[in-house]
A and B are shown apart, each in its own frame.
Chain A
Amino acid sequence: MNSAIQFNNVHYAIDNQPILKNITGSFYEGEVTTLVGPSGAGKTTLLKLCNGLLSPNTGEIHINGKNIDDYDPVELRRYVGMALQSAPMIAGTVYKNLALPLDLQGQQLSKNQAADLLQDVGLGEEFLHRNSRELSGGQRQKVSIARTLVNRPEILLLDEITSSLDQVSQKEIEELIVKINRKFGVTIIWITHNLQQAITVGTYTWVMMAGEIIEEGKSDLLKSPKNEQVRQFVKGELE
């Protein structure tokens, strides 16, 4: 299997405070890998390394076999799309937010394209002219996902994109992401606090704790973890 993203002995620290330690591993091309672990484990930090929002202190990251430092940052970030945990919106309408990725390149998004994107994430066309400030947390997450898809990334980084969604919306988004994965062969790395979701949508799973990968493999590993710490974590999350 080809690695879409490969980590080689990656360390990342802020002010000499280690955040990620000795990360080595691969995210496989065309697969969905889920990333789980307690709050503060370093999951978000790991994703930000994948699209060059951050750079490792030591170690190497390769994207499709090429060192991440050899990519032009703008190209890299369009190729490796990311939906941020806080689903931030820019001031203005939902349409303005959806058009942002193209706007940054001096291009336009048609109203029809925008409406189609909204439909994909389960929002009606009437949302186009809503002010982004009036959206609920869940609606914001949906707009944020749609916006990330505008650049048609080959690798998709998703940071807790369904945390504020109800069960039905959550299923819809899961189906959408799985569809994008199957149809376009997009590689997906998906952080989630929902272990059930980690198992259903993921083929592979990484369990992170305190900046390290504690266990990784087929997503089923969460059903019967080998590591005692992971067992405790899974027990706590599932009860």
Chain B
Amino acid sequence: MSPIALIFSLIFVLIPIVLSKTFNLGLEKDTAIAVVRSIIQLFVVGYVLKFVFDSESIIYIFLMVGVMIVAATLNARKKGAAIKGITWKIAVTLIFVEVLTQSILLGFNITPHTAQYIIPISGMMVGNGMVLAILFLNRFIAETEARQDQTELILSLGGTPKQAIHTQLITSIKASMIPTIESQKTIGLVQLPGMMSGQIIAGASPVQAVQFQLLVLFLLLTAASVTCVMLGFLSYRTMFNQRMQLVWGR
């Protein structure tokens, strides 16, 4: 795409701003901020990626993935602020998801051992892990609050904290994974996945693009399930104290 074409593409920014002004939606400012931020952020990332790819140094790969994990953790922890130690719990979970997926990808030679593959896939894993972590924490906190007397019931019958929170934990894990699974059922029927579209537009053969997209979908299933399960088991304990009392919300 030529620079001129990119400038013309700003027409697509003007349309929502005009609509917002006309109908008093009050979204002009946010739209403008979003546009400016995405321009800056993506260009910066583009040049950083170019530098990292050219340098072929493993240190820069680690550094980039590290930055991704830190940013994702800081973003997700707001949702779980009520859970003690949530920051490191999210960080450990995201690191685990990243290490697990890359070990399998690289260990079985599924993808080439280059920054060009490692970084974008890491971005997808960490980004998706972050979204799943937010979905899960929202749901888990809501479930715990809504079913406080069930937790109390099981504790009072001599159940352990794990037994007392089990239903809420499983419900929340399931509920937060459903969107990932459901969206994969209809994939390709309504909308081509963004990454696949990108590859096709960039000139890759559709069949090759499909193969790579499938790999990504499978990876996302792993990222989703590992994130929810791991974060769930790391966080339920802090809702109870040593005396097996529910300290949540007190």
Contact = CB atoms under 8 A, between A and B. Distances in A.
Given A14-B250, A86-B149, A91-B167, A104 B157 contact: yes
A21 B103 CA distance: 59
Nearest to A148: B157
A77 B156 contact: yes
B152 interface: yes
Contacts of B150: 88, 90
B244 interface: yes
Given A14-B250, A90-B167, A53 B157 contact: no
Contact of A88 (B153, B158, B244, B250): B153
Nearest to A76: B158
Contact of A74 (B149, B158, B167, B246): B158
Nearest to A144: B153
Q: Size band of the A side of the interface? A: 20 to 34
B156 A53 contact: yes
A192 interface: no
B167 A101 contact: no
Given A84-B149, A84-B152, A104-B163, A55 B245 contact: yes
A230 interface: no
B149 to A, nearest CB: 4
A53 B152 contact: yes
Interface string B222-240: 0000000000000000000
A73 B153 contact: no
Interface in B146-163: 149-150, 152-160, 163
Contacts of B154: 90, 100, 104
Contacts of A81: 156-157
A19 to B, nearest CB: 11
B185 interface: no
B29 interface: no
A81 B244 CA distance: 16
B241 to A, nearest CB: 8
B149 A88 contact: yes
Contact of A151 (B155, B158, B244, B246): B158
Interface string A52-88: 1111000000000000010001110110011010101
A78 B157 CA distance: 6
A147 interface: yes
A104 B165 CA distance: 12
A90 B152 CA distance: 11
Contacts of A90: 150, 153-154, 167
Contacts of A150: 157
B158 A77 contact: yes
Interface string B14-53: 0000000000000000000000000000000000000000
A82 B156 contact: yes
Contacts of A74: 158-160, 244
A151 B159 CA distance: 12
B156 A84 contact: yes
A224 interface: no
Interface in B104-125: none
Contacts of A52: 243-245
A147 B160 CA distance: 17
A33 interface: no
Interface string A88-132: 101100000000110011000000000000000000000000000
Contacts of A84: 149, 152-153, 156
A78 B245 contact: no
A110 B154 CA distance: 20
Contacts of A75: 158
A225 to B, nearest CB: 32
A109 B158 CA distance: 16
A51 interface: yes
Nearest to B157: A101
Given A88-B149, A88-B153, 14 more contacts: A14-B250, A51-B156, A53-B155, A53-B156, A54-B245, A73-B245, A77-B155, A81-B157, A84-B152, A90-B153, A90-B167, A100-B154, A101-B157, A148-B157
18 contacts: A52-B244, A53-B155, A69-B243, A73-B243, A75-B158, A77-B156, A77-B157, A78-B157, A81-B157, A84-B149, A88-B150, A88-B153, A100-B154, A100-B157, A101-B157, A104-B154, A104-B158, A104-B159
Interface of A: 14, 51-55, 69, 73-75, 77-78, 81-82, 84, 86, 88, 90-91, 100-101, 104-105, 147-148, 150-151
